[in-house]
Amino acid sequence: MKTLTLITLVLITLNLSAQSDSVTVSNYTHEMTDKVYTIASQSFIASNDGERGVVLKSDFKNNKIIGFTLSMYSMGSKCNENNTLIFKFSDGSKITIKSWNEFNCENSYFDTTPLLIEKFKTLELEKVYFMNGESGESDTFNVDNKRYFIQIIKGTDLL
């Protein structure tokens, strides 16, 4: 009986630690310019197989998330223009945002909206859809860290 209780406690502890939030946000002061940068400890990754997908790096201003820099991997054309992101949340709602940058073959840039920030505060993400407006290629991706943006918003509130 003691062994069963011990095994149960270990499994509960492992499950709780696996669910713990892992993304942190901090300020970094550049040594030479004294400019303060807000950075996240991790980027957001959406992929179905670990090889093809999108990575979002959060962009900050005044300790608040204001947008994303998106990099795509193994998605045909590396060039970007008029890209679309759709976030599907745990309550079934969806929000669509469009990239604002001109044609380039490096990254794609998106601004957040007040409604998107409100959703990020409390709702887990279920899936992310990405469409490359230049090539027309698109895909819907699973989300490993469904609480990523909840953690980002909480982290900026603590700065």
Determine the pLDDT at residue 5.
35
Q: pLDDT tens, 106-133?
A: 889 999 999 999 999 999 999 999 999 8
CA of residue 149 relative to chain centroid, distance: 6
Contact 79, 105 (CB under 8 A): yes
Question: Smallest Cα–Cα separation from 149: which of 110, 122, 111?
Answer: 122
Hey, what domains does the chain have and what are their CATH numbers?
Answer: 22-157 (2.60.40)
Q: pLDDT tens, 38-83?
A: 999 999 999 999 889 999 999 999 999 999 999 988 877 778 889 9
Contact 70, 107 (CB under 8 A): yes
Tell me the β-bridge partners of 17.
none
